[in-house]
Amino acid sequence: MDKSLHLDSVIKTHQITKEEQLLNKHKDKNKEVKEALEQKYESNIYSPFNSGSYAKNTAMNTKFDFDMVCPFKRNAFGSNGTLKQMYEDVFDFLYEKYKDDANVRKQKVSIGIEFFADEDGDIVKIDVVPGRELNQDQYKDDENLNLYVYYKYGNFDQGSERIKTNVQAQIKNIKDRATKEKDSIRKVIRLLKVWKNTKYNNPAKSFFLELITIKAFDNKDVSGNLWGKLETVLQYIRDEVTGESFTLKDPGNGSNDLIDTLTTTERQTLSDDMKNMLERIEDNDENIKTYFPENSKFLEEEESDNKYENKGNGFYSNPPKNERFG
Amino acid sequence: MIDKRLNTIQQIFSELNGISIETSFSSDLEFNIVGKIKVPVESTDDCLFFDVKIYPEYPLKRMDTESITFSNSDYLEYGHVMGDGSICRHTSHQTDLKKKIEIDINSLKRWIWKYYLNKDNDKHYEHLILQPKEFKGNHFSFLFTEVDHIFSNQQFGFFEFSKINNGLYHEKVIFNNIIQEFRDSSSKKVTECKWSSAIKQLSNKDLGIYVFLDNPPAKMGKFIISNWEDLEGLVNQNLHNFLYSVQKTNLKLNGKPIPFLIGYRVSDKEIHWQVAILEIGKFPIESYKEDKVWKGGFIDEDIVWGITKNCSYDYFFGRGRLTENITKSKILIIGIGAIGSMVAKTLTRCGCTSIDVVDYDIKEPENVCRSEYSFLSGICNKVDDLSNELFLISPFVEVGIINPILFHVDSKIAQGLNSTNTELQKKLLHYDIIIDCSTDNDLLYILSKLELNRLITLSITNNAKDLVCSVEPKSYNWVMNQYENVLENEMENLHNPTGCWSPTFKASYNDINTLVQFAIKHINIKLSDSNKNLRNFVLKTNESDVFSIKLDEF
Amino acid sequence: MYRINELGLTLEIEDDLLCSLIDIGIKHYPNEFGGFLIGNYSETQTHLIITNTILPNKFKGTPYLFERDTIGIDDKLKQFYAEEPKKYYLGEWHTHPNNLPIPSSTDINAINSIANHPEVSIKNPLMLIIGYDKPKVELGFYVQFKNKLYRYE
């Protein structure tokens, strides 16, 4: 089998535009949540914005990453207000507002709102990430935010207030690269996300996979066909992610190291997973199908897109000179 | 020959440093060589004397005991001395007579240093030393577990036991019994042993009597008392009244043996029971008048001690079991053919206590050769037969039989009628681990769509060339891809018995179980370490050179 | 109308044309015979219509083999291309006397070689096999699609 052809089909069947209805529902709910937050916090909040993979051009249709960052003013919860107060306040507000329509729960740095399935059986999920500017009115200038860590997140301890970041810079960095190098970086990121979804409770965040892919492209000669590129990135992760000196700088804050979102054993598992995957695909091409599965929901549609095709210069040509039939 | 051996031994002993021969060696009627040696105790003026007995096997072992003994019943109070005064030692294998004698003398000196001179007491508890005796030519055993009850000193009453299989104990018949529950003297239940419900439901029950003592009925701390009179100081008159009335109300059963358990504390957490066998009508008791009051007492008679064994879970599985992450799980096995029955038996032997099984199939004689079923149970439901097999193995396993029709309704019919399996999911969430050995692709498809705690599937290709094991959620596509595209599953050479419509793969018990055990070992290692992640895997065998198994992790 | 459900592709052939192909084929009994298929594609490129045939000027036919040459067919192809709508070379047809319309390994090689021929611009060449065994005629329409041969129903 042709591994690159398969991978192309994986990407095609995972294109977010294929789930237009669900995408629109996400956009609508997103707007609704955003307006509710703005109404509630009025002048204490800057405009919430999208930071998920949809914003970064790396989304796929089996998992919509709709993350909404809510930048709060420094004194939004009083001049002595803590990040914990901010986090709890936003949670309480969202819980009260949506408890009859959704499961609202506390996650690592965000508050997840998972709306109950609608009449089409569609489920909309939005993660709200509360953040607070470092000093009053400073956000306009530096876009920096402090996040609250609700429970242990890799090496970040529960309750720590360590994560300071510039989400806008994060988005811009990935979106720029993913858009500019859409046949390489963007495809590889999407494939890694497809893989991540095959693993139960995979601790590697999408953001982590995005950054490590970019780092692989920056440090390795990633070339060849799609499989060749993906293979190089997988090898890079396998070889580097367990290294003691390996770092993954947060484009939003150079002193944040995204490798800290994984524990030592999680890093080892990630490396082992890469090793196993490369070995199994080397053993037999067919194994690529379960590491990077097509989205079967759109596979049929793909097939009904079949056409009689020509090789690019129209249909007219002569038959080959001699052919034998039996 | 004997003379030559005798001379050699005499010669060797006389040349040994640090000992001297007190009584010359001679040969007894059973061809043993006996003598007496004197061993000075280092850095003291003491000398110890030992009778030495060398059996004809020496320097080879006698069954599993030493074929040379050093004994002196004056030293009974010291550690590691047996009831006959022999020193308990374990030495290494040696076939050379001279070297073996040196080794044995050295181990004797080690004993002197450690237990005689330093009065060492090993930390771990040593059971009281007793030699089981026969009652009217038969042995008796009583098996028990820990109980959730703290017995008080002098507490007594009845206990209930179930008779299980008789057998041979060396040349004699042994009657085996399982202790079920303890009652007070008015037959009210006090507590029960922690057996599985199947054991508790055993019929063929009978009653015995017990007394609990705070301290072991021992002499010199390690030998069990041997005469009923020795018990006198440890019990009070209430027990005597009880024994008297038991015998009196059972006069009809004269001559019948009745077990008398004597319990005692061996540690903070543990009690032990010894059993003496009494005969109704001949209880070793007497009554006498003292200050115008009738009193009871024991008479001068040897105690017939039987055999007891603490079979509590931790002892029963003490020599090896799987990780608690498996043994403490509620497990469901779907499909109990060759693979499923091997998995079930392995889990049972390795300490699992909650195993449910579901299968609609009937066990036929041709299943026996490569599964865990037995021929003598004939043709019957696999689930019933397997649960019996499992009960025979473990007194702690609870086996639940799931109705295959209900299971089918919840899985396939529900899927067909309304494309959901919420009812099935709800029921399956009861289990911590579900092991699907059914090789039923339809079922795998359904199970893969559910959110389950942990689903493991096991299947093999023809001739047991490969074993495919999925452990990750939603693995239907992976399993199918292995069979359809990755592995070579040669389907032409299947076993087709005459007139059979469902051909099956070819492989022996050995072929299959080799892979099943390998797979369980791998899963056990992964699950025992929370830092490890269990991933789908395939076992591939290779017979081209020497046989080997390769584990490909995905 | 013939279709391949798996691919969602269809084709049709005019009855007159089909009858004449069968007639011409049977005339060469006991030898195999065949020719080029001409026609056009629907705008969606999911349907095609076989409208004409070009018979070879030079060929070799035996009961188990048919080999054709393209000598002298250029002009005819150009004429068809000049028509409105334009007509193209779509593939080939040949007969299987006394046999079923199942592709032989020679047939499979031929269709592969046509699909992969650098001078051929169509990706999905057709192959019609007319199997006949008096008095029965059976047709087999095939198309090469992504390195696989599919049969129309």
Q: Give the nearest chain A residue to B478 (CA atoms).
A: A290
**What CATH class is the domain C2-151?**
alpha beta
Sign of CA dihedral B364, B368, B373, B377: positive
Q: Which residues of B touch A287 (CB under 8 A)?
A: 481, 486, 554
Of residues B262 and A64, more confidence is placed in B262
Torsional class of B494: left (φ above 0), alpha (ψ -120 to 50), beta (otherwise): beta
How far apart, in whole angstroms, are the C-alpha atoms of residue A90 and residue A73?
13
Give the residue carrying structure tokens 């992969």.
Answer: C116
- Name the residue facing B478 among A268, A277, A290 (closest C-beta): A290
Q: What is the 3-state secondary structure (H, E, C) of C20-70?
A: HHHHHHHHCCCCCCEEEEEEEECCCCCEEEEEEEECCCCEEEECCEEEECC
Strand A111-115, strand A102-106: pairing:
antiparallel
In a domain, B128, yes or no: no
Contact indicator for B16, B105 with CB cutoff of 8 Å:
yes
pLDDT score recorded for residue B130: 85
For residues B104-133, give the mean pLDDT.
84
Q: Would you call A289 and B553 a contact, using CB atoms and an 8 Å cutoff?
A: no
Same domain? B209 vs B262: yes
In whole angstroms, give the CA distance from residue B108 to residue B126.
20
The terminus-to-terminus CA distance of chain C in angstroms comes to 8
Which residues form the domain of B10?
2-117
User: How many other CB atoms sit within 10 Å of the CB of residue B480?
Assistant: 17
Say how far apart CA A285 and CA A5 lie, in whole Å: 12
Per the CB < 8 A criterion, the answer to whether C114 and C147 are in contact is: no
pLDDT confidence of residue A252:
84
Residue C62 structure tokens: 């035996």
Residues of chain B with C-beta less than 8 angstroms from the C-beta of A276: 535, 552-554
Domain boundary (B292, B316, B340) is at B316
Q: Do B244 and B387 reside in the same domain of the chain?
A: no
- Among A153-162, A311-320, B76-85, B204-213, which range has the highest average pLDDT? B204-213
Read off the pLDDT of residues C71-108 as tens digits, 9 standing for 90 and up. 989 899 999 998 888 899 999 999 999 988 999 889 98
Contact C147/A at CB under 8 A: no
Instruction: Identify whether B383 is part of a domain.
Output: yes
Tokens 């992450």, located at residue:
B325
Q: How far is CA B488 from CA B82, B187, B464, in A?
A: 63, 67, 11
Q: Which two three-digit tokens encode residue B27?
A: 């040969």
Average pLDDT, chain B: 92
Indicate the helix (H) or strand (E) that contains A34: helix A20-41
- A203-218 pLDDT tens trace: 888 889 999 999 999 9
- Looking at residue B497, its pLDDT comes to 58
Q: What are the residue ranges spanned by the domains of chain A?
A: 3-291
For the ranges A257-261, B57-61, B363-367, the maximum mean pLDDT occurs at B363-367
The confidence score (pLDDT) of residue B176 equals: 97
| Together in a domain, B113 and B237 | no
At residue B104, φ and ψ (nearest 5 deg) are -65, -40
Does B190 map to a domain?
yes
Query: What band does A74 get if pLDDT is binned at 50, 70 and 90?
Result: very high
| B91 confidence band (pLDDT: 50, 70, 90) | confident
**What values do phi and psi take at B186, rounded to 5?**
-105, 25
* CB atoms inside a 10 Å sphere around CB B123: 5
Do B308 and B369 share a domain, yes or no?
no
pLDDT, greater one: B542 or A121: B542
Mean pLDDT across C114-130: 90
DSSP A108-163: SSSEEEEEPP-TT----EEEEEEEEESSTT-HHHH--EEE---S-BTTBPTT----
Half-sphere exposure of A99 (CA within 13 A, CB side): 5
Percent of chain B with pLDDT over 90: 75
* Paired tokens of B187: 């037959």
B479: burial class by Cβ within 10 Å (0-12, 13-18, 19+)? buried
Q: How far is the C-alpha of B197 from the C-alpha of B395, rounded, in Å?
A: 9
Show the tokens assigned to B477.
Answer: 């596509």
| For range B222-237, the mean pLDDT | 92
Number of domains in chain B: 3
Strand partners, B504: B495
- Sign of the Cα torsion B234, B236, B242, B244 reads positive
User: In this predicted structure, what is the pLDDT of residue B492?
Assistant: 61
Q: Across all residues in chain A, what is the average pLDDT?
A: 88
Residue A304 pLDDT > 70: no
**C2-4 and C9-13: which strand pairing?**
antiparallel
Q: CA A149 to CA A172: how far, in whole Å?
A: 23
Q: What is the pLDDT of residue A257?
A: 87
Q: Does residue B174 sit in the same domain as residue B239? A: yes
Nearest to B477 among A269, A283, A290 (CB): A290
Span B129-157, pLDDT tens digits: 888 999 999 999 999 999 999 999 999 99
For residues B534 and B553, give the distance between their C-alpha atoms in angstroms, rounded to a whole number: 9
Of the two residues B89 and A301, the one the predictor is more confident about is B89
Quick one: B279 and B180 in the same domain?
Answer: yes
CA B443 to chain centre: 37
Q: Which of C8, C122, C143 sits opposite A315 (nearest CB)?
A: C122
Return the CATH number at B347.
Answer: 3.40.50.720
Q: Count the residues in chain B.
A: 554
What is the average pLDDT across B160-189?
Answer: 96
Q: Predicted confidence band at B491 (pLDDT cuts at 50, 70, 90)?
A: low
C-alpha to C-alpha distance for A277 and A264, rounded to whole angstroms: 20
Q: How confident is the model at residue A241 (pLDDT cuts 50, 70, 90)?
A: very high
What gap in Å lies between CA B205 and CA A302, rounded to an integer?
72
Domain ranges of chain C: 2-151
Q: What residues of chain A lie within 8 A of the CB of B478, using their CB?
A: 290
Task: State how beta strands B354-358 and B398-401 pair.
Answer: parallel
Query: Within an 8 Å CB–CB cutoff, is residue B169 touching chain A?
Result: no
* Backbone region of residue A150 per phi and psi (left: phi > 0; alpha: psi in -120 to 50; beta: other values): alpha
Range with the lowest mean pLDDT among B214-218, B461-465, C6-10? C6-10
Q: What are the tens digits of pLDDT across the range B241-254? A: 999 999 999 989 99
Assigned CATH class of A3-291: alpha beta
Q: Do at least 3 CB pairs under 8 Å connect B with A?
A: yes
pLDDT for residue B191: 97
Residues C120, A308: C-beta atoms closer than 8 Å: no
Average pLDDT over residues B205-234: 92
Nearest-10 Cα torsion for B52, B54, B59, B64: -90
Report the C-alpha gap between A204 and A266 in whole angstroms: 8
Instruction: Name the band, by pLDDT with cuts 50, 70 and 90, for residue A296.
Output: confident
Q: Is the peptide bond before C30 cis (omega within 30 degrees of 0)?
A: yes
Question: Closest Cα to residue B178, out of B150, B206, B213, B151?
Answer: B206
Q: Give yes or no: residues B236 and B373 share one domain.
A: no
Distance between CA atoms of residues B347 and B327, nearest Å:
8
Tokens 């301890």 belong to which residue? A157
Residues of C in contact with A324 (CB under 8 A): 65-67, 106, 110
Residues from chain B contacting residue A270 (CB–CB below 8 Å): none
DSSP states along B502-536? S-B----HHHHHHHHHHHHHHHHHHHT-TT-----
**Please, which pLDDT band fits residue B123 given cuts at 50, 70 and 90?**
low
φ/ψ region of B292 (left if φ > 0, alpha if ψ in -120 to 50, else beta) reads left
B122: in domain? no
Does pLDDT of B462 surpass 80? yes
Beta-sheet pairing, C2-4 with B285-290: unpaired
pLDDT value of residue B397: 98
pLDDT at A161: 66
**H-run or E-run covering B234:** none
Query: How many residues appear in chain C?
Result: 153
Structure-model confidence comparison of residues B378 and C100, the more confident one: B378
C145 vs C153: CA distance, rounded Å: 15
Contacts of C120 in chain A (CB under 8 A): 311, 317-320
ipTM of the complex: 0.90
Q: What pLDDT, on the 0 to 100 scale, is given for residue B529?
A: 94
Give the C window 56-75 contacts with A, CB below 8 Å. Answer: 64-70, 73-74
Parallel, antiparallel, or unpaired for β A145-147 and A164-165?
A: antiparallel
User: Which residue of chain B is at minimal alpha-carbon distance from A270?
Assistant: B533
